């Protein structure tokens, strides 16, 4: 027996990026513990960290390519699998054109270094308008607001939680989620520190969440009415003449237009709609103006709703007019070691083309995923006939899952790059499984840009991959070569370009990015190459000067720094980075201002009596960690939360099975009667519903639950951004005779 060894790495499951210490011997994981010296998480982890062991060891995790046949799933060789993809997709393209092949990329893409480096080339090779991802069920409103106001889709502000004195959290539950567009592991401890220095934490949510439980104040808002709350707050700030942009004043346009747009609304009507009192709203507005270090943060509940695009814009504006944007203790912009807003990421664009059936606008070349099923089901030229899914489970994660199930079943060809045979991949003809997360290196190329501190952490692979296994980036690389379809020279160039990451490997590409980035001074501007020439000793000396090389980051340096490298607290930088054409912050982007019309008319319409919202639990991660026994054990968590008044009114007892119905579907689920949910609101978690036939998830099937997305309506979109309205679905709930 070998010796037990310790391996330090960053957990890649959620955005918190916790440092973990894996104790292992002879290829077996003995324990996973928090890394107390990690520069970001400082000893925090959650129960999901141990699931990395379960995931790695899971007998259900696929380890070789699989083909669906009339008599079940059969293993195939990689060569056969790739050849089949090339042939089938080639044939469909020849008959129906490029747009007949769609791509869906799921959330774990962003948590995977190799995939992040390879997916762009793959998408370009497929050359389709039918590109979809989890973005349009997630952070699209943030990206649209950032693009319109700051000129770059990835310039997303992050709460400076460690220095703020007033943190207003709208539609986020960081205690359970670990934080999102806010890498803030150990959020509870950070709130405890905020309170200890005399600050306050305020939560705005229709449910008294785990985050609300530690808040100084909890404001139970009616679902989907955040736009009215924000308008009311801004109304108070403008009428009391307290709006101040601070340092931003000389660099921003549109304050007058914003003011005019807000003042059209009647503050009493706005407040009435939210369910919160006018007095409280006025007081909150004043508190935000009076506190020099304050911020308003909004996340999934704020943006996956009917007016998500407006909500995010108004949240940014609220921070701006209270002088809290790009200021210490406010909403700030991280400066990561690999900066997607510098050389690598596109700034974004909007409405360059539209979806075929519903005419929905693209954003950054992507179409809203709520339109995916109809693009497959609706006859006519341009219909989707084939699909490639990468690290996604849209059947459980996107609206109207049953309809998508039907649509996928009717495809001519589908291939999935995924670890599991699950609700989505069961429709594939081929599944191409990548290595486990512990078998490849890790660096959070996107999420480091949204951490509450500037840090850089690289984790080398823990285990060698098994013989014959392929990494995600290698699978994408091979697909890129096989499906690359640009003609002549362009094709050659595209192939040569995609060969770079393939030949070098993600670690070497990352190394180049780190060395040429803001903290890798040695290579900046190719100076190192110059300095190596004879006779340029002075330059060489200057480059060796430690003041000029604050971190000198490289993969090697990071691999040696097992707790990560701390690059310091967030610093104001927006004025230097704003990327709009005139390099000025735009407070009143025309499309956003115009969308206020929609909000104004909604203010007149009747309020539905029961609205369904989602929820997340700390022992779950979207749809794909329910095959870990240690995470699903205990009392069932897929329950419908309902307020005692609403339950009594319908004759529903705690623990009874109820029928929940929406325009698109119906589920039966156990009711949990609780005052933690507001009257008029019910809540189901997302990511469940593992009772579908033909999946290979033994543990998850025994804890199936139901899918909230069988109720969420694919026709309800935030018209401004194309984001699915996951929260605020009108439903009816009734008691059933049968037990659970
Ligand atoms: N009603 C409702 N719906 C929601 C939400 C909500 O709040 N309410 N939240 C939305 C949000 S924020 C998101 S991000 C989406 C998520 O939507 P998706 O990304 O579509 O779904 P996931 O459940 O994250 O599925 C991830 C898939 O990737 C696979 N996988 C995991 N790791 C890897 C890997 O390293 N490589 C590969 N190739 N595959 C891997 C898993 O097996 C699984 O099939 O769900 C959205 N859906
Ligand atoms: N444990 C765990 N952690 C996760 C995930 C997970 O599934 N499980 N998923 C990861 C992913 S992909 C993401 S994007 C992040 C998401 O991170 P968060 O956004 O912090 O997580 P949610 O739990 O979706 O928080 C949304 C909140 O909005 C509330 N809400 C619903 N409707 C409304 C509304 O109309 N107005 C307001 N004000 N609030 C509303 C909900 O009650 C909920 O508390 O979490 C990540 N981390
Ligand atoms: S909060 Fe949990 S799942 Fe998220 S990074 Fe930390 S240990 Fe991993
Ligand atoms: Mo997400």
6-18 pLDDT per residue, tens: 999 999 999 999 9
Q: What is the CA radius of gyration of the chain?
A: 25
pLDDT at 522 over 80: no
Q: Is 419 in the pocket of ligand 1 (CB under 6 A)?
A: yes
Residue 569: per-residue pLDDT: 97
pLDDT band of 91, cuts 50, 70, 90: very high
Protein residue whose Cα sits closest to atom 38 of ligand 2:
171
Q: Is 726 in the pocket of ligand 1 (CB under 6 A)?
A: yes
Classified as helix, coil or strand, 50 is helix
pLDDT at 740 over 50: no
Pocket around ligand 2 at a 6 A CB cut-off: 14-15, 107, 138, 170-174, 176-178, 180, 204-207, 209, 221, 223-224, 226, 299-302, 305, 613, 615-618, 620-622, 727-728
Q: 552, 567, 600: which is the final residue of a domain? A: 552
Mark whether 612 and 548 lie in a shared domain: no
pLDDT band of 539, cuts 50, 70, 90: low
Say if 722 falls within a structural domain. Answer: yes
CB-based contacts of 138, cutoff 8 Å, min separation 6: 107, 300, 303, 304
Ligand with an atom nearest the CA of residue 690: 1
Residue 484: per-residue pLDDT: 87
Q: Is 714 in the pocket of ligand 1 (CB under 6 A)?
A: no
Residue 517: per-residue pLDDT: 85
Beta carbons of 396 and 689 less than 8 angstroms apart: yes
Say if 647 falls within a structural domain. Answer: yes
Minimum mean pLDDT range among 52-56, 58-62, 495-499: 495-499
**Placement of tokens 């709609």 in the chain:** 273
Domain CATH code at residue 19: 3.30.200.210
Say if 472 falls within a structural domain. Answer: no
Residue 493: per-residue pLDDT: 66
CA of 313 to the centre of ligand 1 (A): 26
Q: Is 11 in the pocket of ligand 3 (CB under 6 A)?
A: yes
Mark whether 630 and 535 lie in a shared domain: no
Say if 157 falls within a structural domain. Answer: no
User: Which pair of structure tokens corresponds to residue 578?
Assistant: 């704003």
User: How far is 134 from 156, CA to CA, in rounded Å?
Assistant: 17
Ligand with an atom nearest the CA of residue 686: 1
Atom of ligand 3 nearest to the CA of 44: 6
CA of 5 to the centre of ligand 3 (A): 22
Ligand with an atom nearest the CA of residue 438: 1
pLDDT band of 344, cuts 50, 70, 90: confident
Query: How many CB atoms lie under 10 A from the CB of residue 570?
Result: 26
Mark whether 731 and 665 lie in a shared domain: yes
Mark whether 622 and 701 lie in a shared domain: yes
Protein residue whose Cα sits closest to atom 4 of ligand 2:
177
Say if 105 falls within a structural domain. Answer: no
Ligand with an atom nearest the CA of residue 726: 1
CA of 116 to the centre of ligand 2 (A): 24
pLDDT at 552 over 70: yes
Q: Is 136 in the pocket of ligand 1 (CB under 6 A)?
A: no
CA angle 113, 115, 116 (to 5 degrees): 65
Domain CATH code at residue 615: 2.40.40.20
Question: Per-residue pLDDT averaged across 485-509, rounded?
Answer: 72
Q: Is 686 in the pocket of ligand 1 (CB under 6 A)?
A: yes
CB-count exposure of residue 342 (10 Å: 0-12, 13-18, 19+):
middle
Q: Report the percent of the chain where pLDDT is more than 90.
A: 90
Q: Is 681 in the pocket of ligand 3 (CB under 6 A)?
A: no
Mark whether 536 and 639 lie in a shared domain: no
Average per-residue pLDDT in the chain?
94
CA of 162 to the centre of ligand 4 (A): 23
Q: What is the pLDDT of residues 435-471, one digit of tens each?
A: 999 999 999 999 999 999 999 999 999 999 999 999 9
Mark whether 527 and 621 lie in a shared domain: no
pLDDT band of 232, cuts 50, 70, 90: very high
Residue 521: per-residue pLDDT: 55
Mark whether 620 and 546 lie in a shared domain: no
- Give the containing element (helix H, strand E) for 281: helix 278-290
The domain in which residue 713 lies consists of: 608-737
Q: What is the pLDDT of residues 142-195, one digit of tens each?
A: 999 999 999 999 999 999 999 999 999 999 999 999 999 999 999 999 999 999
Say if 440 falls within a structural domain. Answer: no
Mark whether 715 and 637 lie in a shared domain: yes
Question: Per-residue pLDDT averaged across 273-289, rounded?
Answer: 98
Mark whether 614 and 715 lie in a shared domain: yes
- Give the containing element (helix H, strand E) for 734: strand 732-735
Mark whether 731 and 620 lie in a shared domain: yes
CA of 49 to the centre of ligand 3 (A): 6
Ligand with an atom nearest the CA of residue 12: 3
Beta carbons of 740 and 657 less than 8 angstroms apart: yes
Protein residue whose Cα sits closest to atom 4 of ligand 3:
14
Mark whether 542 and 612 lie in a shared domain: no
Question: Per-residue pLDDT averaged across 224-242, rounded?
Answer: 98
Mark whether 537 and 641 lie in a shared domain: no
Q: Is 444 in the pocket of ligand 1 (CB under 6 A)?
A: no
Say if 586 falls within a structural domain. Answer: no
608 secondary structure, DSSP code = P
Say if 624 falls within a structural domain. Answer: yes
CA of 112 to the centre of ligand 3 (A): 15
Residue 543: per-residue pLDDT: 55
Q: Domain total for the chain?
A: 3
């Amino acid at each position: 027996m070998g010796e037990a060894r310790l391996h330090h790495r960053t957990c890649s499951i959620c955005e918190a990026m916790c440092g973990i210490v894996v104790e292992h011997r002879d290829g077996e994981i003995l324990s996973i513990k928090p890394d107390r010296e990690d520069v970001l998480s400082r000893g925090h982890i959650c129960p999901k960290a141990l699931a990395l062991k379960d995931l790695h060891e899971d007998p259900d995790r696929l380890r070789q390519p699989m083909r669906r046949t009339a008599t079940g799933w059969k293993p195939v060789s990689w060569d056969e699998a790739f050849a089949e993809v090339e042939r089938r997709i080639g044939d469909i393209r020849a008959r129906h054109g490029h747009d007949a092949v769609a791509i869906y990329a799921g959330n774990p893409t962003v948590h995977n270094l190799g995939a992040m480096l390879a997916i762009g080339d793959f998408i370009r090779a497929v050359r389709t308008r039918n590109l979809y991802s989890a973005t349009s069920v997630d952070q699209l409103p943030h990206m649209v607001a950032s693009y319109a106001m700051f000129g770059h889709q990835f310039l997303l502000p992050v709460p400076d939680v460690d220095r703020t004195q007033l943190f207003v959290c709208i539609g986020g539950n960081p205690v359970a989620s670990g934080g999102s567009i806010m890498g803030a592991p150990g959020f509870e401890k950070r709130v405890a520190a905020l309170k200890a220095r005399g600050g306050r934490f305020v939560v705005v949510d229709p449910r008294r969440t785990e985050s609300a439980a530690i808040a100084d104040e909890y404001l139970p808002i009616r679902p989907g009415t955040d736009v009215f709350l924000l308008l009311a707050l801004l109304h108070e700030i403008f009428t009391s003449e307290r709006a101040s942009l601070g340092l931003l004043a000389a660099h921003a346009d549109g304050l007058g237009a914003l003011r005019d747009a807000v003042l059209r609304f009647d503050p009493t009507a706005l407040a009435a709609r939210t369910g919160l009192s006018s007095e409280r709203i006025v007081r909150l507005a004043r508190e935000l103006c009076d506190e020099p270090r304050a911020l308003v943060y909004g996340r999934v509940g704020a943006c996956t709703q009917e007016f998500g695009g407006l909500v995010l814009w108004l949240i940014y504006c609220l921070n701006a007019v209270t002088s809290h944007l790009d200021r210490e203790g406010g909403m700030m912009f991280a400066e990561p070691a690999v900066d997607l807003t510098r050389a690598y990421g596109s700034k974004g664009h909007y409405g360059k083309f539209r979806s075929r059936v519903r005419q929905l606008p693209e954003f950054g070349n992507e179409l809203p995923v709520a339109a995916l099923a109809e693009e497959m089901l609706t006859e006519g030229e341009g219909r989707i006939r084939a699909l490639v899914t990468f690290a996604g489970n849209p059947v459980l994660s996107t609206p109207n899952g049953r309809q998508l199930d039907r649509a996928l079943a009717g495809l001519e060809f589908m291939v999935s790059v995924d670890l599991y045979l699950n609700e989505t991949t069961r429709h594939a003809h081929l599944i191409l499984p990548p290595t486990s997360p512990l078998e490849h290196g890790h660096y959070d190329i996107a999420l480091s840009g949204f951490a509450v501190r500037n840090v850089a952490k690289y984790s080398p692979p823990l285990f060698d991959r098994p013989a014959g296994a392929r990494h995600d980036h290698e699978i994408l690389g091979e697909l890129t070569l096989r499906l690359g379809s640009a003609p002549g020279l362009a094709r050659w160039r595209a192939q040569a370009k995609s060969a770079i990451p393939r030949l070098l490997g993600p670690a070497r590409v990352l190394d180049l990015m780190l060395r040429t980035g803001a903290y890798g001074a040695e290579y900046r501007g190719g100076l190192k190459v110059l300095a190596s020439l004879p006779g340029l000793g002075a330059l060489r000396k200057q480059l060796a000067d430690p003041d000029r090389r604050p971190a000198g980051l490289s993969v090697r340096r990071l691999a040696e720094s097992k707790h990560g490298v701390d690059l310091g607290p967030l610093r104001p930088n927006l004025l230097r980075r704003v990327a709009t054409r005139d390099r000025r912050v735009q407070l009143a982007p025309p499309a956003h201002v115009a969308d206020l019309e929609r909000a104004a008319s909604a203010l007149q319409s009747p309020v539905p009596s029961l609205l369904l919202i989602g929820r997340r639990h700390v022992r779950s991660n979207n749809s794909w960690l329910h095959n870990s026994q240690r995470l699903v054990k205990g009392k069932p968590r897929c329950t419908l939360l309902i307020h005692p008044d609403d339950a009594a009114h319908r004759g529903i007892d705690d623990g009874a099975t109820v029928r929940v119905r929406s325009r698109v579907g119906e589920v039966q689920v156990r009711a949990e009667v609780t005052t933690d949910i507001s009257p008029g609101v019910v809540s189901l978690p997302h990511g469940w519903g593992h009772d579908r036939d033909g999946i290979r998830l033994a543990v998850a099937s025994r804890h199936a639950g139901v899918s909230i997305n069988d109720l969420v309506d694919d026709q309800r979109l935030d018209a401004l951004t194309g984001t699915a309205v996951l929260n605020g679905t009108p439903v009816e709930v009734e008691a059933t005779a049968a037990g659970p």
